[in-house]
Amino acid sequence: METSVLKVDPTNPESDVIGRAAAVIRSGGLVAFPTETVYGLGAKGLSAEAVAGIFNAKGRPSTNPLILHVSDASEVLNVAADWPATAQTLAARFWPGPLTLVVPKRDSVPHIVTAGGPTVAVRCPNHAVARALIRAAGVPLAAPSANRSTELSPTHAGHVLKGLNGRIAMVLDGGRCSGGLESTVVDVTGEIPRMLRPGLITVPMLEAVCGRVEVGAKSEGVARAPGQMAKHYSPRTPLALCATPTDALTSAARARAQGQNAWIMAPDSKEFDQLDEGADILSALPERYGAELYDVLHMIDGAEHDIVFVVLPPDTPEWAAVRDRLTRAAARE
């Protein structure tokens, strides 16, 4: 299969380009497209056969559910059997945006989308290309990140092609994704909302709207949302997590003395003021760090380092998504 790459205006997408991509979706094919978080890999969300193509292209385990994307909140009842008051409150505040809500599913949602579970994860993305594609296709789009399973998420069209070239029909190249981290996922089926995956919308932001929010998935057999695997979002280069800049500098020096090509990745801090080589220094602001993270990890993968020592950012709500991605990226299995 030859993967077509079509340039598209990220703010005012051309109707002919969107039309071509929507035709691929309607025919059961796969199209990668930009969102405000990362590039997604879209298929007809209510077609089990089309969705199976996502799992095949990514090498994704069937136990890892997908998110259904809608172009407007009014469309959720096409896939949700119930829309709790908390869902309505959160959607009114954060949609369109990087928030996924887990709700009871309609029978029309194929089991392959939900890993056989009774709930479905739904999101309305805040990106002109994504919403135009959903509207033109006329169906909710099942769309995980457009990468091979467990590997780094893509924030550029080039990242998509690294893993999926020849495995999918089309990529809509809308430039760089602004957010850089996958959406926050919140289960609203219980009395108290529960964050299943941290993202750009933090616990304090949620609690300011809906009150107390619990954190962490329950052990209940069937995953209700993606992003729960211990190893996920991972580069090929091994990562070693360090608590402080001093730990990273010491560990890197030791590894280099043993002949390893060691690298450091860390938020900007005074400890690295004099470090002019051997490190990628990211922003000390969580939003900017998150936007840079996958791009830097993709570049690190292309540099043939033996190991990268990663300084974990502070253990605060604002950094929760970054720490989550780094922890999963560093996991061995």
- The 10s digit of each residue's pLDDT in 73-108 is 999 999 999 999 999 999 999 999 999 999 999 999
Is 231 contained in some domain? no
The CB-based long-range contact list for 83-91 (8 Å cut-off, 24+ gap) reads 84/188, 84/189, 86/188, 86/193, 86/210, 87/188, 89/209, 89/210, 90/186, 90/188, 90/193, 90/206, 90/209, 90/210, 91/124
User: Quick one: 243 and 148 in the same domain?
Assistant: no
Residues 298 and 171 grouped into a single domain: no
Please state, rounded to an integer, the average pLDDT across all residues of the chain: 94
What does the alpha-carbon distance between residue 165 and residue 178 come to, in Å, rounded to a whole number? 23
Of residues 273 and 123, the one with the higher pLDDT is 123
Q: What does the pLDDT read at residue 275?
A: 56
Q: What is the pLDDT of residue 231?
A: 76
Angstrom distance (rounded) from CA 327 to CA 50: 32
| Arithmetic mean of pLDDT, 126-138 | 98
Read off the pTM. Answer: 0.95
Cα dihedral 176, 178, 180, 183 sign: negative
Q: With respect to residue 198, please indicate whether it lies within any of the assigned structural domains.
A: yes
Assigned token pair, 300:
């690190």
For residue 211, being part of any structural domain is answered with: yes
Q: Which two tokens stand for residue 175?
A: 């430039």
Give the pLDDT score at 109.
98
Q: Is the peptide bond before 118 cis (omega within 30 degrees of 0)?
A: no
327, pLDDT greater than 60: yes
pLDDT of residue 143 exceeding 90, the answer is yes
CB 102 within 8 A of CB 196: yes
| 101-124 per-position pLDDT tens digit | 999 999 999 999 999 999 999 999
Q: How many structural domains are present in the chain?
A: 2
CATH number (domain holding residue 192): 3.90.870.10
Same domain, 186 and 313: no
List CB contacts of 44: < 8 A, sequence separation 6 or more: 25, 26, 28, 50, 51, 137, 139, 141, 142
First to last CA, the chain: 31
pLDDT for res 75: 95
pLDDT over threshold 70, residue 272: no
**One domain for residues 210 and 286:** no
Residue 315 pLDDT exceeds 80: yes
In a domain, 229, yes or no: no
Residue 270: the pLDDT is 75
Instruction: Write down the pLDDT at residue 277.
Output: 66
Residues 264 and 130 in one domain: no
CATH number at residue 290: 3.40.50.11030
Find the mean pLDDT for residues 12-24: 98
Position 302 scores a pLDDT of 87
Q: Do 18 and 132 touch, CB atoms closer than 8 A?
A: yes
Report yes or no on 223 lying in a domain.
Answer: no
On whether residue 207 sits in a domain, the answer given is: yes
Which of 44-58, 239-253, 257-271 holds the top average pLDDT?
44-58
**76 and 26, same structural domain?**
yes
Q: What is the pLDDT of residue 218?
A: 79
Nearest to 300 by CA among 264, 326, 330, 331: 264
- Which structural domain range is residue 299 located in? 239-330
pLDDT at 276 over 60: no
Is pLDDT at 158 greater than 80 in this prediction?
yes
**What would the two tokens of residue 7 be?**
């340039």
For residues 151 and 211, state if they share a domain.
yes
By mean pLDDT, which of 197-206, 262-271, 282-291, 323-332 is the weakest?
A: 262-271
**Domain annotation covers residue 75:** yes
Q: What is the pLDDT of residue 217?
A: 82
Report residue 274's pLDDT band, with 50, 70 and 90 as the boundaries: low
* Neighbouring residues of 78: CB distance < 8 A, sequence distance ≥ 6: 70, 106, 108, 140
pLDDT (0 to 100) of residue 1: 82
% of residues, the chain, pLDDT over 70 = 97
Do both 181 and 245 map to the same domain? Answer: no
Do 87 and 209 lie in a common domain? yes
The per-residue pLDDT for 273 is 61
Are both 67 and 174 inside the same structural domain? Answer: yes
pLDDT digits (tens, 9 = 90+) for 177-223: 999 999 999 999 999 999 999 999 999 999 999 999 999 887 777 78
Domain contains 50: yes
Residues 107 and 248 in one domain: no
Averaged pLDDT, 218-232: 78
Other Cβ atoms less than 10 A from the Cβ of 214: the count is 15
Same domain assignment for residues 122 and 210: yes
| The last residue of a domain, from among 215, 250, 266 | 215
